Amino acid sequence: MNYLLHILVLLAIDVPLVLSLTLMAGYGGSLSVAHAAYFGVGGYFLAILTTRFGWTVAAALLLVPLTGAVLGAATGAAAARLRGDYFVLYTLGAQVLFVGFARNMIPVTGGPFGITEIPRPLYMGQPLYSLSGFALFAIIVALVCIGIIVLATLGPSGLAARAARADPMAALALGIAARKIRFLVVALSCAVAASSGALYATYFGFVGPDSFGVGKSILLVAAALLGGAGNVQRGALSACFVVVLPELLRFLQLPSQLAAEFRSMLFGLFLLLVLLARPGNALSQSRRRP
């Protein structure tokens, strides 16, 4: 039972995270390879506020999305300036920079050893150590995040974002501020990723630079594209797949190092297959034949 609850918590962390990237790619038209960094910023921010300044997890969780949004705004500004592959390269640089700072700013981040003893949220004045209680808390946070994403994709705002992504010039002619929308979508996506990071930090009680590396970002890109960028339902399904696959690999009883590499290879292959086999992929900009 505890194992299933653990999987449920992992799903509550990863589903909003993958959906936030799906939102950025599908509605913002920007594919970020720094999503693990935004996830990490949320984790580190919560860890620092709770362990160094004595904040409660609930109070820190309210501030974390704002930090993510501010960082996302900087990325959003870059997204508005840079075209596709240059933006990917920019975010790849930002991702490596984040890990560099996390590893080297030892007084703030704890360096390679990270930050430990991050507290759990309080319920009736007591830390929430029971797994069922924490799972419920994580599901509530995840549902709030997913709800915000779904709201952003529905109605006029979603249509405007789709139009801005499909043809910014035509959208502009219709009075839709394409750049502003792209900027807001990226900021919202980063805020959700940071919230997932905060949830991760309080669940595991530890954050370190290796948890938020380039590999994690690439895995997230694979998951987002597997579902099809911009598709919330399939995005959620592919996030479930990303969480469940490593658990299935456990049954092969491979040595841990071998299993990690094997898992990375599988995700890389999935990413390639998705790109090569799905002409309708959200990344494709197939030209109409005359």
108 is an interface residue for other proteins by CB under 8 A = no
Q: Which is nearer to other proteins, 26 or 65 (CB)?
A: 26
| Both structure tokens of 204 | 């595991």
Amino acid of residue 11: L
Q: How far is the CB of 263 from other proteins (least distance, A)?
A: 8
Helices (H), the chain: 2-26, 35-51, 57-81, 84-104, 106-109, 131-153, 155-166, 168-173, 178-204, 214-227, 232-250, 256-277
Task: For residue 211, give every residue at least 6 positions away whose Cβ sits within 8 Å of its Cβ, in sequence order, or none.
Answer: 40, 43, 114, 200
Q: Which is nearer to other proteins, 136 or 283 (CB)?
A: 283
262 is an interface residue for other proteins by CB under 8 A = yes
The three-class DSSP label of residue 172 is: helix
Give φ, ψ of 40 to 5 degrees.
Answer: -65, -40
Out of 38, 39, 90, 183, the only residue in the binding site for other proteins (CB under 8 A) is 90
Contact of 217 with 36, CB cutoff 8 Å? yes
82 is an interface residue for other proteins by CB under 8 A = yes
Select the span of 65-73, 79-87, 123-131, 138-146 touching other proteins (CB under 8 A): 79-87
Select the span of 47-55, 92-100, 184-192, 231-239 touching other proteins (CB under 8 A): 92-100
Q: Which of residues 19-48 bind other proteins (CB under 8 A)?
A: 31, 33
101 is an interface residue for other proteins by CB under 8 A = yes
81 is an interface residue for other proteins by CB under 8 A = yes
73 is an interface residue for other proteins by CB under 8 A = no
